[in-house]
Structure 1
Amino acid sequence: MNFYNIDYAYMVEVFPRILRTAPLTLGLAFSAMILGLIIATCLALTRVFKIRVLSTLTRVYISFFRGTPLLVQLFMLYYGVPQIIPSLAKMNAMTAAILGLSLHSAAYMAEIIRGAISSVEKGQMEACLSVGMTPMQAMRRVILPQATRVAVPSLANSFISLIKESSLAFTLGVAEMMAQARMSSAATYKFFENFLVALLIYWGISITIGFLQDRIEIKLNKAY
């Protein structure tokens, strides 16, 4: 195929059809990001405070989810786990995709958050304790706000990665952008055009998030 054989008219026609599923893709990624952040913060704090048993379990969790493919994790969660826990058989594909992406991304974000917390001077925690704060109060009021500024760039990259990884949700039957591109390709045999449109939309979303990331960084760095 050369550039003269590409059906540009069809690309213009199919663009809104694939773009229509973008909110589902973004909703999937955003939900997984929020849940993943909650899990990641808990994991990071167990390592920062070196809670004996929990710290060890956290290391195992991070090693497992970072050391195995996301696609296998999604399949295991949606098809495998209900075989052992029958009550989870009612879990729909969207729920399984959000949960799987959350658990996977949390393993990476936990290390980002832990690193950001570690970048804050230890003397600040000691100062907080000296004025009567508990470790958790010091973490919430002093350490985490400063760590947030450090973590934002990496967390924004994690969100972009989540958007791209959400394309695997189509393997569970979630009708997001990748699923729409595949269905359109199967119906028309115009694989190049459909997947190129999907790529351009993903790229556009990534550029937009990158722009917002820059604006957030500028705002957070004003005080410094």
Structure 2
Amino acid sequence: MKLDPAFIWTAFVQLLSVIPTTLLITAVSVLGGFLIGTGIALLRLYRVPVLSQIAAGYVTFIRGTPMITHLLLIYFGLPAIVDAVSESLGSSFRSVSIPYLAFALIAFTITASAYMSEVVRSGLLAVNRGQLEAAYSIGMTTPQALRRIVFPQALAASLPNLSNSLIGMLHGSTLAFTVSVVEIMAKAQIVASTNWKFFEAYLAAALIFWGLTVLIEQLASRIERRINVYNRGGVA
């Protein structure tokens, strides 16, 4: 096999056009997963009757099954549910109107929520319980104490794990091509199919993912440094 450096550059340039799709999948799934995961973590920490057991079962199931399984279950199961509900309501809306990207966003958000819940839960457990009790002693309600005292510290403690989860979802977004979403890896396959130079196309894709990963690592490192300076009483 003879390497074609010129085609690596050609593929690299063509792959740039789908980076926004990959970043959209990553950002939406991580943000949605963080919000849902925070709710799940609070349910489990405060041991809300029934709901905490459901939340624990949800986390166990999602973490115990592959990411691609969630995607395929949503891709094949959600349309059937949508069509059944629409028909029962007498609506003309059908699942064929739903873009493929929506299935990927829903599935990856579900996946991220389970992992994010554990990240958030570990961060909350890292905050000294005495700080919450001190907040109660000065008249704060639980939501106020969580928002002003607990969450900021928990977020700082969870930052390394959050960045790892973000990188994991960035790489996991490559599975979206299985439901016809054209992201970086799918585009690489399309580009390579014109002349069968798959190695060069996938190498270009690897370089892009590596670059995006480095950017995330650098951003997380800067945020962590600023948080550490603030926690030491310095000027951020």
Quickly name the TM-score band, shorter chain normalised: over 0.9
Q: Which residue in 1 is equivalent to 2:90? A: none
Task: Report SS of the residue matched to 2:215.
Answer: helix
Q: Which residue in 1 is equivalent to 2:137? A: 130
Q: Which residue in 1 is equivalent to 2:23? A: 26
Question: Counterparts of 2:77 and 2:209 in 1: how far apart (Å)?
Answer: 30
% same residue: 37
Question: Counterparts of 2:28 and 2:80 in 1: how far apart (Å)?
Answer: 26
Q: CA deviation at 1:32?
A: 1.1
Q: Which residue in 2 is equivalent to 1:67? A: 64
Q: CA deviation at 1:108?
A: 0.7
TM-score for the superposition, normalised by structure 1 = 0.95
Q: 1:47 aligns with which of 44, 49, 54?
A: 44
Q: CA deviation at 1:106?
A: 0.9
**Amino acid in structure 2 at the alignment position of 1:7:** D
Please list every run of 5 or more consecutive structure 2 residues that lacks an aligned counterpart in the other structure. 87-93
Matches within 5 A, 1:133-144: 133-144=140-151
**Amino acid in structure 1 at the alignment position of 2:138:** V
Matched positions, count: 221
Q: CA deviation at 1:80?
A: 2.1
Q: Which residue in 2 is equivalent to 1:7? A: 4
**CA offsets 1:155-210 (integer angstroms, 9 cap, x no match):** 11111111100000111111111110011122211010011110111011101110
Q: CA deviation at 1:85?
A: 3.6
Question: Counterparts of 2:142 and 2:81 in 1: how far apart (Å)?
Answer: 40
Question: Counterparts of 1:98 and 1:84 in 2: how far apart (Å)?
Answer: 17
**Amino acid in structure 1 at the alignment position of 2:127:** V
Question: Counterparts of 1:33 and 1:156 in 2: how far apart (Å)?
Answer: 10
Q: 1:119 aligns with which of 123, 126, 146?
A: 126
CA-atom RMSD in angstroms: 1.2
Q: 1:16 aligns with which of 13, 16, 24?
A: 13
TM-score for the superposition, normalised by structure 2 = 0.90
Q: 2:193 aligns with which of 186, 198, 206?
A: 186
Q: CA deviation at 1:84?
A: 3.5
Please list every run of 5 or more consecutive structure 1 residues that lacks an aligned counterpart in the other structure. none
Task: Report SS of the residue matched to 1:187.
Answer: coil
Task: Report SS of the residue matched to 2:182.
Answer: coil
**Amino acid in structure 1 at the alignment position of 2:47:** K
Question: Counterparts of 2:70 and 2:99 in 1: how far apart (Å)?
Answer: 16
Q: Which residue in 2 is equivalent to 1:170? A: 177
Question: Counterparts of 1:141 and 1:148 in 2: how far apart (Å)?
Answer: 12
Q: Which residue in 1 is equivalent to 2:163? A: 156
**Amino acid in structure 2 at the alignment position of 1:186:** S
Q: 2:209 aligns with which of 198, 202, 205?
A: 202
Question: Counterparts of 2:138 and 2:46 in 1: how far apart (Å)?
Answer: 19
Runs of 4+ more than 6 Å apart: none
Q: 1:219 aligns with which of 212, 217, 226?
A: 226
